[in-house]
Amino acid sequence: MKFPKGSIVKHRSGDIKGAVMNAFESEKGNVSYYVTWEDGTSSMHQENELHWANIDVAIRIKNFYEK
């Protein structure tokens, strides 16, 4: 998954921003995201239809106790 829950994304076709509310992965490995947009609407999109809306990208910080 490229976008974790809570990520701010933009749709490739416009400048409207939205927040990822949930992510779904199929058995084939396709990832879809349920996004709530600034205008109050919500919709489901494939991973290739979205990109980061801000320059900050999520990074995974390794837990000190994690092996």
pLDDT, one tens digit per residue, over 49-64 is: 999 886 555 555 555 6
Domains, the chain, ordered by start: 1-67 (2.30.30)
Beta strands in 1-67 (DSSP E): 8-11, 17-25, 31-37, 42-46, 50-52
pLDDT band at 21 (very low <50, low <70, confident <90, very high): very high
Give the pLDDT confidence score for residue 24 in this predicted structure.
Answer: 94
